[in-house]
Amino acid sequence: MKIDVEAKPSYGLAVVTLDKGESFISESGAMVAMSSGLKVDTKFNGAGDGSFMGKVKAMLVGLARKFLAGESLFINQFDAESDGQQVMIAPTLVGDVEKIRLKDGKKITVQATSYLGSGKNIDVGLIWGGFSMLFGGEGAFFLECTGKGPLLINAYGAIEKVEINGGYVVDTGHVVGWEGDLEYKIKKAGGWKSTLLSGEGLVLEFTGTGTLWLQTRNLGSLLGWITPQLPG
């Protein structure tokens, strides 16, 4: 399997090339174009097994993801029936797409709305970030990804990688994901006056060592900017 990401960082497009027998999973609605030798199967977005209870659990998890986190209820699995089959995948939002290679023992945590696609051997689990995260203005759901293979994430804006060694403070609206030995705390941006008036609100303070992925725009600011310009 080969994955090339084109048109970074504004309209990232992942071009996935599969050989016979290989598979790729993506969010529903993300397919832009594909070769004719790919079989498509649509499933509920939950890592359930094939049993009845597994399917029920998958459905509940899928529903939780949809209504609380904005992820789609369904995923598409593309299976190649011959060599050199291509599927091109893109998110709905304008912005970057990044490919991350997961290895055994590595765990990546991403914003629930940032999941775009992954290889078959990646496990994606839903975690609840806690109530304080909700007040940070972003969704409080995160996805924990483990396993072996490729993971595709998307963002509104360009994705910037920041290596943390010590401490770093981030505006919650700009966090895409992180990995490594990192702890985080929700804090006020400055004193009370700053928190209310600075436009920054709450921030996340990371400590430890690891990698942080940021997006260089946030949807809330875009909406705030365009709303006064809309006709009644």
The residues that touch other proteins, with contacts defined as CB under 8 A, are: 6-7, 9-13, 27-36, 40-42, 72-74, 76, 88, 90, 92-96, 157-158, 160, 162, 166-171, 174, 189-190, 193-194, 197-200, 205, 212, 214-219, 221-232
- Of the pair 50, 228, the CB lying nearest other proteins is at 228
* Structure token pair of residue 153: 């994430």
Query: What is the nearest approach in angstroms of other proteins to the Cβ of residue 169?
Result: 5
φ and ψ at 180, to 5 degrees?
A: 110, -165
Query: What is the nearest approach in angstroms of other proteins to the Cβ of residue 36?
Result: 4
| Cα(58)–Cα(51) distance, integer angstroms | 10
Query: What is the nearest approach in angstroms of other proteins to the Cβ of residue 18?
Result: 15
- Of the pair 6, 19, the CB lying nearest other proteins is at 6
Q: Put residue 198 in one of left, alpha, beta given phi > 0 → left and psi -120 to 50 → alpha.
A: alpha
Query: What is the nearest approach in angstroms of other proteins to the Cβ of residue 176?
Result: 11
Q: Are 144 and 177 contacting, i.e. CB atoms less than 8 angstroms apart?
A: no
| Cα(144)–Cα(6) distance, integer angstroms | 26
Q: What sign has the CA pseudo-torsion 199, 111, 178, 166?
A: positive
- Of the pair 114, 215, the CB lying nearest other proteins is at 215
- Of the pair 76, 109, the CB lying nearest other proteins is at 76
